[in-house]
Amino acid sequence: MEHCGLKYNIETKSFFEVEILKIDGEILKLNLSKPAFRAMIRLKVYTLLDLSKISQESLKNAHGLGPATLNILNSYLKESMPNSH
């Protein structure tokens, strides 16, 4: 696995800290891990609509999104967009 380098790169760490603040408040309330939020930023997921457009395969393959987080995101998506498939 490739080393992410966040511990050693202040600029990258600062970028993610700022970007996390741009994520929709309802998603932030899910209290996901920092790696999960960073993965979402790399996937350009900031809102429920963004999340609904990402394939399950992309989510499963994203570094930082484990099975527990995927369950949380899928539940949130189903609750928030009950008519989505």
Torsion, Cα of 67, 48, 37, 56 (10° steps)? 30
Given a cut of 90, is residue 9 above it in pLDDT?
Answer: no
Distance from C-alpha of 85 to C-alpha of 79, rounded to nearest angstrom: 12
| Most distant CA atoms of the chain, gap in Å | 44
Task: Give 38-44's long-range contacts (Cβ < 8 A, gap of 24+).
Answer: 38/6, 38/64, 39/63, 39/64, 39/65, 40/65, 41/16
Domain parsing of the chain, residue ranges:
10-80
Mean pLDDT of the chain: 90
Residue 23, helix vs strand vs coil: coil
The structure's pTM equals: 0.83
